[in-house]
Chain A
Amino acid sequence: MQALGLDVLFKGSNLLRLLGGLGKALEISLIAVALSLILGVLFGVLMTFRNPVIRALSRIYLEIVRIMPQMVLLFLVFFGTTRVFGWDLNAEAASVIVFAFWGTAEMGDLVRGAIISVPKHQYESAFALGMTKSQTYFTIIIPQAIRQLIPLSINLITRMIKTTSLVMMIGVVEVLKVSQQIIEANRMTSPNAAFGIYLTVFVLYFIACWPFSILAKHLERKWSN
Protein backbone atom coordinates (compact mmCIF):
# COMPACT_ATOMS: atom_id res chain seq x y z
CA MET A 1 0.00 0.00 0.00
CA GLN A 2 2.66 2.44 1.08
CA ALA A 3 4.88 1.70 -1.90
CA LEU A 4 2.07 2.22 -4.37
CA GLY A 5 0.94 5.32 -2.53
CA LEU A 6 -2.51 3.82 -2.17
CA ASP A 7 -2.63 4.95 1.46
CA VAL A 8 -3.08 8.47 0.14
CA LEU A 9 -6.23 7.33 -1.58
CA PHE A 10 -7.90 6.58 1.72
CA LYS A 11 -6.76 9.76 3.46
CA GLY A 12 -9.62 12.06 4.35
CA SER A 13 -12.21 12.22 1.60
CA ASN A 14 -9.75 11.64 -1.23
CA LEU A 15 -11.53 8.62 -2.68
CA LEU A 16 -14.88 10.38 -2.54
CA ARG A 17 -13.33 13.39 -4.23
CA LEU A 18 -12.00 11.21 -7.03
CA LEU A 19 -15.44 9.66 -7.47
CA GLY A 20 -16.97 13.13 -7.46
CA GLY A 21 -14.47 14.12 -10.17
CA LEU A 22 -15.43 11.08 -12.18
CA GLY A 23 -19.07 12.07 -11.77
CA LYS A 24 -18.28 15.52 -13.14
CA ALA A 25 -16.37 14.09 -16.10
CA LEU A 26 -19.22 11.69 -16.87
CA GLU A 27 -21.88 14.36 -16.48
CA ILE A 28 -20.19 16.59 -19.04
CA SER A 29 -19.22 13.85 -21.44
CA LEU A 30 -22.49 11.96 -21.37
CA ILE A 31 -24.63 15.04 -22.03
CA ALA A 32 -22.25 15.92 -24.84
CA VAL A 33 -22.38 12.35 -26.14
CA ALA A 34 -26.17 12.35 -26.14
CA LEU A 35 -26.26 15.64 -28.07
CA SER A 36 -23.56 14.44 -30.45
CA LEU A 37 -25.41 11.25 -31.24
CA ILE A 38 -28.64 13.04 -32.09
CA LEU A 39 -27.11 16.02 -33.91
CA GLY A 40 -24.46 13.78 -35.48
CA VAL A 41 -27.11 11.63 -37.15
CA LEU A 42 -28.82 14.72 -38.57
CA PHE A 43 -25.50 16.20 -39.65
CA GLY A 44 -24.44 12.91 -41.20
CA VAL A 45 -27.65 12.72 -43.23
CA LEU A 46 -27.13 16.31 -44.30
CA MET A 47 -23.66 15.50 -45.55
CA THR A 48 -25.01 12.86 -47.91
CA PHE A 49 -27.03 15.49 -49.78
CA ARG A 50 -25.65 16.50 -53.13
CA ASN A 51 -26.38 20.19 -52.62
CA PRO A 52 -23.02 21.92 -53.19
CA VAL A 53 -23.67 24.64 -50.60
CA ILE A 54 -24.48 22.11 -47.88
CA ARG A 55 -21.45 20.11 -48.91
CA ALA A 56 -19.11 23.09 -48.73
CA LEU A 57 -20.48 24.24 -45.38
CA SER A 58 -20.25 20.83 -43.77
CA ARG A 59 -16.74 20.44 -45.16
CA ILE A 60 -15.77 23.73 -43.48
CA TYR A 61 -17.36 22.66 -40.20
CA LEU A 62 -15.54 19.33 -40.27
CA GLU A 63 -12.23 20.96 -41.05
CA ILE A 64 -12.61 23.52 -38.26
CA VAL A 65 -13.25 20.75 -35.78
CA ARG A 66 -10.31 18.72 -37.09
CA ILE A 67 -7.84 21.60 -37.17
CA MET A 68 -8.79 23.27 -33.88
CA PRO A 69 -7.46 21.60 -30.78
CA GLN A 70 -10.29 20.99 -28.32
CA MET A 71 -8.36 23.16 -25.87
CA VAL A 72 -8.63 26.15 -28.20
CA LEU A 73 -12.34 25.49 -28.66
CA LEU A 74 -12.79 25.40 -24.90
CA PHE A 75 -11.10 28.79 -24.52
CA LEU A 76 -13.12 30.21 -27.39
CA VAL A 77 -16.44 29.08 -26.04
CA PHE A 78 -15.79 29.77 -22.37
CA PHE A 79 -13.83 33.02 -22.60
CA GLY A 80 -14.60 34.00 -26.19
CA THR A 81 -18.36 34.20 -25.70
CA THR A 82 -17.80 36.54 -22.79
CA ARG A 83 -15.46 38.75 -24.80
CA VAL A 84 -17.57 38.90 -27.93
CA PHE A 85 -21.14 38.63 -26.69
CA GLY A 86 -20.80 39.26 -22.98
CA TRP A 87 -22.38 35.88 -22.20
CA ASP A 88 -21.41 34.39 -18.88
CA LEU A 89 -21.53 30.71 -19.70
CA ASN A 90 -20.63 28.53 -16.79
CA ALA A 91 -17.67 26.25 -17.32
CA GLU A 92 -19.72 23.06 -17.45
CA ALA A 93 -22.06 24.45 -20.10
CA ALA A 94 -19.10 25.65 -22.14
CA SER A 95 -17.56 22.21 -21.87
CA VAL A 96 -20.74 20.50 -23.01
CA ILE A 97 -21.00 22.85 -25.99
CA VAL A 98 -17.41 22.23 -27.05
CA PHE A 99 -17.62 18.49 -26.72
CA ALA A 100 -20.98 18.35 -28.48
CA PHE A 101 -19.58 20.58 -31.25
CA TRP A 102 -16.67 18.21 -31.65
CA GLY A 103 -18.72 15.03 -31.19
CA THR A 104 -21.38 16.11 -33.69
CA ALA A 105 -18.76 16.57 -36.38
CA GLU A 106 -17.07 13.25 -35.74
CA MET A 107 -20.34 11.42 -35.33
CA GLY A 108 -21.68 13.06 -38.47
CA ASP A 109 -18.71 11.85 -40.45
CA LEU A 110 -19.21 8.32 -39.12
CA VAL A 111 -22.92 8.48 -39.94
CA ARG A 112 -22.17 9.74 -43.44
CA GLY A 113 -19.84 6.80 -44.03
CA ALA A 114 -22.36 4.35 -42.66
CA ILE A 115 -25.19 5.77 -44.75
CA ILE A 116 -23.12 5.62 -47.91
CA SER A 117 -22.35 1.99 -47.21
CA VAL A 118 -26.05 1.02 -47.18
CA PRO A 119 -26.63 -0.59 -50.61
CA LYS A 120 -28.51 1.38 -53.23
CA HIS A 121 -31.19 -1.28 -53.64
CA GLN A 122 -32.30 -0.65 -50.07
CA TYR A 123 -33.31 2.86 -51.10
CA GLU A 124 -34.93 1.57 -54.26
CA SER A 125 -37.00 -1.09 -52.60
CA ALA A 126 -38.20 1.47 -50.07
CA PHE A 127 -39.06 3.93 -52.85
CA ALA A 128 -40.77 1.15 -54.78
CA LEU A 129 -43.05 0.66 -51.77
CA GLY A 130 -44.13 4.27 -52.07
CA MET A 131 -42.04 5.58 -49.21
CA THR A 132 -40.91 9.20 -49.24
CA LYS A 133 -37.27 10.18 -48.92
CA SER A 134 -37.55 11.04 -45.24
CA GLN A 135 -39.52 7.87 -44.47
CA THR A 136 -36.82 5.91 -46.26
CA TYR A 137 -34.07 7.63 -44.33
CA PHE A 138 -35.63 7.31 -40.92
CA THR A 139 -37.05 3.81 -41.11
CA ILE A 140 -34.70 2.04 -43.52
CA ILE A 141 -31.36 3.73 -44.04
CA ILE A 142 -30.54 5.28 -40.66
CA PRO A 143 -31.48 2.22 -38.60
CA GLN A 144 -29.21 0.11 -40.78
CA ALA A 145 -26.45 2.70 -40.66
CA ILE A 146 -26.70 2.88 -36.88
CA ARG A 147 -26.09 -0.84 -36.62
CA GLN A 148 -22.85 -0.42 -38.51
CA LEU A 149 -21.99 2.60 -36.42
CA ILE A 150 -22.06 0.97 -33.03
CA PRO A 151 -18.40 -0.09 -32.74
CA LEU A 152 -17.15 3.21 -34.19
CA SER A 153 -19.34 5.39 -32.04
CA ILE A 154 -18.42 3.46 -28.89
CA ASN A 155 -14.85 4.35 -29.71
CA LEU A 156 -15.87 8.00 -30.09
CA ILE A 157 -17.82 7.97 -26.82
CA THR A 158 -14.91 6.58 -24.82
CA ARG A 159 -12.57 9.09 -26.45
CA MET A 160 -14.97 11.87 -25.45
CA ILE A 161 -15.07 10.65 -21.86
CA LYS A 162 -11.29 10.61 -21.70
CA THR A 163 -10.81 13.95 -23.43
CA THR A 164 -13.03 15.71 -20.88
CA SER A 165 -9.89 15.98 -18.72
CA LEU A 166 -9.16 19.13 -20.76
CA VAL A 167 -11.98 20.99 -19.01
CA MET A 168 -9.62 21.56 -16.08
CA MET A 169 -8.24 24.40 -18.21
CA ILE A 170 -11.41 26.40 -17.68
CA GLY A 171 -11.71 25.61 -14.01
CA VAL A 172 -13.82 22.47 -13.98
CA VAL A 173 -12.43 20.04 -11.44
CA GLU A 174 -12.90 16.56 -12.89
CA VAL A 175 -11.31 13.27 -12.01
CA LEU A 176 -7.87 13.87 -13.52
CA LYS A 177 -7.62 17.28 -11.90
CA VAL A 178 -8.61 15.81 -8.53
CA SER A 179 -5.90 13.20 -8.96
CA GLN A 180 -3.31 15.91 -9.68
CA GLN A 181 -4.50 17.80 -6.62
CA ILE A 182 -4.11 14.74 -4.45
CA ILE A 183 -0.67 13.93 -5.83
CA GLU A 184 0.54 17.51 -5.37
CA ALA A 185 -0.91 17.89 -1.90
CA ASN A 186 1.06 14.81 -0.84
CA ARG A 187 4.24 15.31 -2.80
CA MET A 188 6.31 15.79 0.35
CA THR A 189 4.77 13.07 2.47
CA SER A 190 4.06 10.43 -0.20
CA PRO A 191 6.18 11.02 -3.28
CA ASN A 192 4.99 7.70 -4.69
CA ALA A 193 1.34 8.64 -4.55
CA ALA A 194 1.29 9.43 -8.27
CA PHE A 195 1.46 5.77 -9.21
CA GLY A 196 -1.35 4.64 -6.94
CA ILE A 197 -3.58 7.58 -7.77
CA TYR A 198 -3.12 7.29 -11.53
CA LEU A 199 -3.75 3.56 -11.23
CA THR A 200 -7.01 4.38 -9.49
CA VAL A 201 -7.92 6.90 -12.18
CA PHE A 202 -7.19 4.25 -14.80
CA VAL A 203 -9.53 1.85 -13.03
CA LEU A 204 -12.20 4.55 -12.73
CA TYR A 205 -12.03 5.41 -16.44
CA PHE A 206 -12.17 1.72 -17.20
CA ILE A 207 -15.27 1.30 -15.05
CA ALA A 208 -16.84 4.30 -16.76
CA CYS A 209 -16.14 3.08 -20.29
CA TRP A 210 -16.75 -0.61 -19.71
CA PRO A 211 -20.57 -0.42 -19.78
CA PHE A 212 -20.38 1.05 -23.27
CA SER A 213 -18.38 -1.90 -24.54
CA ILE A 214 -20.86 -4.24 -22.88
CA LEU A 215 -23.75 -2.37 -24.45
CA ALA A 216 -22.06 -2.46 -27.86
CA LYS A 217 -21.48 -6.19 -27.62
CA HIS A 218 -25.04 -6.73 -26.49
CA LEU A 219 -26.48 -4.71 -29.39
CA GLU A 220 -24.23 -6.38 -31.92
CA ARG A 221 -25.31 -9.77 -30.68
CA LYS A 222 -28.95 -8.77 -30.62
CA TRP A 223 -28.83 -7.48 -34.17
CA SER A 224 -26.89 -10.35 -35.61
CA ASN A 225 -29.49 -13.09 -35.02
Chain B
Amino acid sequence: MANTLLKIENLTKSYDGNVILKDFNLSVRKGEVIVIIGPSGCGKSTLLRCINGLEAIQSGVIKLDDEIIDSKSKTITKLRQRVGMVFQSYDLFPHKTVLQNIILAPTLVQKRDKKEVAAEAEQLLDKVGLSDKKDSYPRQLSGGQKQRVAIVRALCMHPEVMLFDEVTAALDPEMVREVLDTMLELARQGSTMLIVTHEMEFAKAVSDRVIFLDNGEIIEEGAPQSFFNHPKTERAQKFLHTFEFEHIK
Protein backbone atom coordinates (compact mmCIF):
# COMPACT_ATOMS: atom_id res chain seq x y z
CA MET B 1 0.00 0.00 0.00
CA ALA B 2 1.25 3.41 -0.87
CA ASN B 3 0.48 5.05 2.43
CA THR B 4 2.05 2.37 4.63
CA LEU B 5 4.18 4.17 7.16
CA LEU B 6 5.53 1.35 9.29
CA LYS B 7 6.12 -2.17 8.11
CA ILE B 8 7.25 -5.11 10.20
CA GLU B 9 8.18 -8.30 8.39
CA ASN B 10 9.05 -11.67 9.92
CA LEU B 11 10.25 -10.13 13.15
CA THR B 12 11.70 -12.56 15.68
CA LYS B 13 12.87 -11.45 19.07
CA SER B 14 14.13 -13.63 21.90
CA TYR B 15 15.74 -13.18 25.26
CA ASP B 16 18.21 -15.83 26.41
CA GLY B 17 16.57 -18.41 24.18
CA ASN B 18 13.00 -17.48 25.17
CA VAL B 19 11.15 -16.41 22.08
CA ILE B 20 9.13 -13.26 22.76
CA LEU B 21 7.97 -12.44 19.23
CA LYS B 22 7.64 -15.14 16.57
CA ASP B 23 7.75 -14.33 12.88
CA PHE B 24 5.71 -11.22 13.48
CA ASN B 25 4.19 -9.20 10.62
CA LEU B 26 2.36 -5.89 10.77
CA SER B 27 1.90 -2.87 8.61
CA VAL B 28 0.62 0.41 9.85
CA ARG B 29 -0.95 3.01 7.58
CA LYS B 30 -0.39 6.68 8.04
CA GLY B 31 -2.99 8.07 10.45
CA GLU B 32 -3.98 4.63 11.69
CA VAL B 33 -4.56 4.01 15.39
CA ILE B 34 -3.76 0.45 16.39
CA VAL B 35 -4.42 -0.92 19.86
CA ILE B 36 -2.47 -3.98 20.92
CA ILE B 37 -3.95 -6.07 23.69
CA GLY B 38 -3.09 -9.38 25.25
CA PRO B 39 -2.15 -11.04 28.50
CA SER B 40 0.94 -9.80 30.28
CA GLY B 41 4.15 -11.27 28.93
CA CYS B 42 2.63 -11.72 25.49
CA GLY B 43 5.26 -9.49 23.86
CA LYS B 44 3.28 -6.25 23.45
CA SER B 45 5.80 -4.00 25.19
CA THR B 46 8.71 -5.74 23.52
CA LEU B 47 7.10 -5.06 20.15
CA LEU B 48 6.98 -1.31 20.84
CA ARG B 49 10.54 -1.33 22.14
CA CYS B 50 11.73 -3.08 18.97
CA ILE B 51 10.00 -0.47 16.83
CA ASN B 52 11.91 2.24 18.66
CA GLY B 53 15.20 0.38 18.39
CA LEU B 54 15.52 -0.06 22.14
CA GLU B 55 15.79 -3.82 21.63
CA ALA B 56 18.03 -5.69 19.24
CA ILE B 57 16.11 -8.13 17.05
CA GLN B 58 17.20 -11.58 15.95
CA SER B 59 15.66 -11.62 12.51
CA GLY B 60 13.19 -9.83 10.31
CA VAL B 61 12.91 -6.23 9.20
CA ILE B 62 11.27 -3.15 10.70
CA LYS B 63 10.90 -0.32 8.24
CA LEU B 64 9.77 3.24 8.71
CA ASP B 65 8.95 4.40 5.18
CA ASP B 66 11.94 2.90 3.42
CA GLU B 67 14.39 3.15 6.25
CA ILE B 68 15.30 0.08 8.24
CA ILE B 69 15.18 0.44 12.00
CA ASP B 70 18.25 -1.26 13.37
CA SER B 71 19.07 -0.72 17.05
CA LYS B 72 22.78 -1.09 16.33
CA SER B 73 23.07 1.24 13.38
CA LYS B 74 24.40 4.73 13.60
CA THR B 75 21.27 6.20 12.12
CA ILE B 76 19.10 4.88 14.93
CA THR B 77 19.03 8.24 16.71
CA LYS B 78 17.73 9.85 13.51
CA LEU B 79 14.98 7.26 13.23
CA ARG B 80 14.03 7.54 16.88
CA GLN B 81 13.34 11.21 16.34
CA ARG B 82 10.58 10.14 13.99
CA VAL B 83 9.08 7.70 16.50
CA GLY B 84 7.72 9.11 19.75
CA MET B 85 7.38 6.87 22.76
CA VAL B 86 5.70 7.18 26.15
CA PHE B 87 6.46 4.60 28.82
CA GLN B 88 4.52 3.11 31.69
CA SER B 89 7.04 4.27 34.29
CA TYR B 90 7.12 8.00 34.82
CA ASP B 91 10.13 8.84 32.77
CA LEU B 92 10.41 12.61 33.00
CA PHE B 93 13.90 13.87 33.82
CA PRO B 94 13.64 14.73 37.51
CA HIS B 95 16.34 17.41 37.46
CA LYS B 96 14.62 19.49 34.78
CA THR B 97 11.43 21.53 34.87
CA VAL B 98 8.43 20.58 32.77
CA LEU B 99 9.39 23.06 30.09
CA GLN B 100 13.05 22.01 30.12
CA ASN B 101 11.98 18.37 29.80
CA ILE B 102 10.01 19.22 26.70
CA ILE B 103 12.46 21.47 24.89
CA LEU B 104 15.64 19.49 25.67
CA ALA B 105 15.55 17.03 22.80
CA PRO B 106 14.18 19.39 20.10
CA THR B 107 16.94 21.90 20.82
CA LEU B 108 19.76 19.45 21.58
CA VAL B 109 18.99 16.70 19.08
CA GLN B 110 17.13 18.53 16.33
CA LYS B 111 19.02 21.82 16.85
CA ARG B 112 15.81 23.77 16.60
CA ASP B 113 15.48 27.32 17.82
CA LYS B 114 14.88 27.43 21.53
CA LYS B 115 12.30 30.20 21.44
CA GLU B 116 10.30 28.54 18.73
CA VAL B 117 10.33 25.19 20.56
CA ALA B 118 9.40 26.82 23.86
CA ALA B 119 6.46 28.57 22.22
CA GLU B 120 5.29 25.30 20.73
CA ALA B 121 5.77 23.53 24.08
CA GLU B 122 3.66 26.09 25.87
CA GLN B 123 0.96 25.73 23.27
CA LEU B 124 0.92 21.96 23.67
CA LEU B 125 0.96 22.25 27.46
CA ASP B 126 -2.00 24.56 27.22
CA LYS B 127 -3.85 21.96 25.18
CA VAL B 128 -3.36 19.33 27.86
CA GLY B 129 -4.27 21.84 30.56
CA LEU B 130 -0.83 22.12 32.13
CA SER B 131 0.41 25.53 31.06
CA ASP B 132 0.61 26.65 34.69
CA LYS B 133 2.99 23.76 35.44
CA LYS B 134 5.70 24.64 32.95
CA ASP B 135 8.19 25.70 35.62
CA SER B 136 7.34 22.90 38.03
CA TYR B 137 9.63 19.95 38.62
CA PRO B 138 8.30 16.44 37.88
CA ARG B 139 8.14 15.54 41.56
CA GLN B 140 5.61 18.32 42.06
CA LEU B 141 3.22 16.74 39.55
CA SER B 142 0.66 13.98 39.92
CA GLY B 143 1.09 10.77 37.95
CA GLY B 144 -1.50 11.82 35.40
CA GLN B 145 0.13 15.20 34.92
CA LYS B 146 3.53 13.55 34.47
CA GLN B 147 2.19 11.28 31.74
CA ARG B 148 0.56 14.19 29.92
CA VAL B 149 3.88 16.06 30.05
CA ALA B 150 5.63 12.94 28.74
CA ILE B 151 3.18 12.87 25.82
CA VAL B 152 3.79 16.54 25.09
CA ARG B 153 7.54 15.93 25.30
CA ALA B 154 7.30 13.19 22.69
CA LEU B 155 5.01 15.28 20.46
CA CYS B 156 7.33 18.22 20.46
CA MET B 157 9.77 16.15 18.42
CA HIS B 158 7.16 16.01 15.64
CA PRO B 159 7.20 12.22 15.41
CA GLU B 160 5.49 10.40 12.59
CA VAL B 161 4.42 7.54 14.84
CA MET B 162 3.58 7.60 18.52
CA LEU B 163 4.06 4.51 20.69
CA PHE B 164 2.21 4.27 24.02
CA ASP B 165 3.34 1.50 26.34
CA GLU B 166 0.68 0.98 29.02
CA VAL B 167 0.87 4.64 29.92
CA THR B 168 -2.03 4.50 32.38
CA ALA B 169 -1.13 1.21 34.05
CA ALA B 170 0.69 2.82 36.99
CA LEU B 171 -1.85 5.59 37.50
CA ASP B 172 -4.43 6.00 40.20
CA PRO B 173 -7.86 5.39 38.66
CA GLU B 174 -9.01 9.01 38.88
CA MET B 175 -6.04 10.10 36.78
CA VAL B 176 -6.44 7.60 34.00
CA ARG B 177 -9.15 9.57 32.26
CA GLU B 178 -7.17 12.78 31.77
CA VAL B 179 -4.37 10.88 30.06
CA LEU B 180 -6.71 8.85 27.86
CA ASP B 181 -8.54 12.04 26.84
CA THR B 182 -5.25 13.48 25.69
CA MET B 183 -4.60 10.40 23.58
CA LEU B 184 -8.13 10.47 22.14
CA GLU B 185 -7.56 14.06 21.10
CA LEU B 186 -4.36 13.04 19.34
CA ALA B 187 -6.15 10.26 17.50
CA ARG B 188 -8.84 12.69 16.44
CA GLN B 189 -6.15 14.92 14.93
CA GLY B 190 -5.01 12.05 12.74
CA SER B 191 -1.81 10.93 14.47
CA THR B 192 -0.44 7.49 13.70
CA MET B 193 -0.46 5.62 16.99
CA LEU B 194 0.40 2.19 18.37
CA ILE B 195 -1.13 1.78 21.80
CA VAL B 196 -0.57 -1.03 24.28
CA THR B 197 -3.28 -0.86 26.93
CA HIS B 198 -5.56 -2.75 29.28
CA GLU B 199 -8.30 -0.12 29.07
CA MET B 200 -10.76 -2.02 26.89
CA GLU B 201 -13.41 0.71 26.65
CA PHE B 202 -10.74 3.17 25.62
CA ALA B 203 -9.39 0.69 23.07
CA LYS B 204 -12.86 0.33 21.61
CA ALA B 205 -13.24 4.10 21.35
CA VAL B 206 -9.84 5.07 20.02
CA SER B 207 -8.73 2.33 17.64
CA ASP B 208 -9.07 1.73 13.95
CA ARG B 209 -7.75 -1.77 14.41
CA VAL B 210 -7.26 -4.06 17.39
CA ILE B 211 -4.55 -6.67 17.54
CA PHE B 212 -4.75 -9.48 20.05
CA LEU B 213 -1.33 -10.85 20.86
CA ASP B 214 -0.54 -13.98 22.81
CA ASN B 215 2.77 -15.82 23.17
CA GLY B 216 4.42 -13.50 20.67
CA GLU B 217 1.94 -14.13 17.88
CA ILE B 218 -1.06 -12.30 16.48
CA ILE B 219 -4.01 -14.49 17.41
CA GLU B 220 -6.68 -12.23 16.08
CA GLU B 221 -7.03 -8.78 14.60
CA GLY B 222 -9.86 -6.67 13.30
CA ALA B 223 -12.02 -3.58 13.63
CA PRO B 224 -12.78 -2.74 17.26
CA GLN B 225 -16.53 -3.29 17.05
CA SER B 226 -16.31 -6.76 15.61
CA PHE B 227 -13.34 -7.78 17.76
CA PHE B 228 -14.82 -6.72 21.07
CA ASN B 229 -18.40 -7.82 20.31
CA HIS B 230 -17.68 -11.01 18.40
CA PRO B 231 -14.19 -12.27 19.02
CA LYS B 232 -13.59 -15.22 16.72
CA THR B 233 -10.87 -17.13 18.54
CA GLU B 234 -11.30 -18.94 21.80
CA ARG B 235 -8.22 -17.32 23.30
CA ALA B 236 -9.49 -13.82 22.55
CA GLN B 237 -12.86 -14.71 24.02
CA LYS B 238 -11.25 -16.03 27.13
CA PHE B 239 -9.03 -12.97 27.44
CA LEU B 240 -11.88 -10.50 27.01
CA HIS B 241 -13.94 -12.46 29.50
CA THR B 242 -11.43 -11.63 32.23
CA PHE B 243 -12.61 -8.01 32.05
CA GLU B 244 -16.26 -8.91 32.56
CA PHE B 245 -18.16 -9.79 35.68
CA GLU B 246 -21.42 -11.73 36.13
CA HIS B 247 -24.11 -10.05 38.12
CA ILE B 248 -24.30 -11.91 41.39
CA LYS B 249 -27.23 -10.03 42.94
Contact = CB atoms under 8 A, between A and B. Distances in A.
A and B touch in the complex (CB under 8 A): yes
Nearest to A223: B95
Contacts of A147: 95
Interface stretch (B62-70, B102-110, B188-196, B227-235): B102-110
Contact of B109 (A119, A122, A129, A143): A129
A122 B91 CA distance: 6
Given A127-B80, A130-B78, A131-B109, A143 B87 contact: no
Contacts, number: 64
Nearest to A143: B95
B197 interface: no
A130 B173 CA distance: 31
B70 to A, nearest CB: 14
Contact of B95 (A119, A124, A127, A144): A144
Interface residues of A, number: 20
Given A127-B53, A131-B108, A139-B104, 8 more contacts: A125-B150, A126-B105, A128-B85, A129-B80, A135-B108, A143-B95, A144-B95, A223-B95
Interface residues of B, number: 27
B207 interface: no
Given A130-B77, A223-B95, A124 B153 contact: no
Interface in A115-156: 119, 121-122, 124-132, 135, 139-140, 143-144, 147
B94 A144 contact: yes
A140 B105 CA distance: 11
B168 interface: no
B109 A135 contact: yes
Of the candidates A125, A130, A143, the one having the most CB atoms from chain B within 10 angstroms of its own CB is A130
Nearest to A224: B139
Interface string B185-207: 00000000000000000000000
Most B Cβ at <10 Å: residue of A131, A144, A147? A131
